[in-house]
Every structure is written in C-alpha cells, then in structure tokens.
Amino acid sequence: MASTSLEKRIKSKENRIKELEEQQKKVQQQLTAARRDLKVLKADKVDALLSESHLTYDDIAKLLKKESHDEAPGFH
C-alpha cells in the first residue's frame, strides 16, 4: 500500500513538472517576442529622431546610451 501511495505522489510530481515545463516554454516564447518588439521599437525611435532632426547617428547613439544608463543606474 505504501508503494501505491508513493507511486501516486511520484506520478503527481511528474505531471506537475510537465505542466511547469510547458508554462516555462510559453513564458520563454513571450519573453523572446517582447525582446524582439523592444528592438523594433528602439529602431523606430532612431528612425524618428533622424527624420525629425538633424542629429547624426553618433548623436543618437550617445542619447540611447545615456537613456539606457538612466534606465539601469548602477549597471555600468
């Protein structure tokens, strides 16, 4: 009887692990999509800055570097 109880617990844990792995896969896909979208938005921002101003790519690179530093101070 104890072995039956243990087998049920083992099966339950295996099922839970499988569920969590599926959730992790979905979250990883969402994270990948979000990162891709962020890159596109940043590229669009650069294009907008270029079209609306007389900034050079170097000027924009400096602005973006400053912006990323401001978003995460302490991570130099």
Do 64 and 46 form a contact (C-beta atoms < 8 A)?
yes
For the stretch 47-63, pLDDT in tens is: 887 787 777 778 878 88
Do 60 and 50 form a contact (C-beta atoms < 8 A)?
yes
Q: Which residue has the higher pLDDT, 59 or 74?
A: 59
pTM: 0.58
For the stretch 35-49, pLDDT in tens is: 999 999 999 988 887
- Alpha carbons 45 and 63: distance in angstroms, whole number: 11
Q: Give the pLDDT score at 35.
A: 96
- Alpha carbons 14 and 46: distance in angstroms, whole number: 48
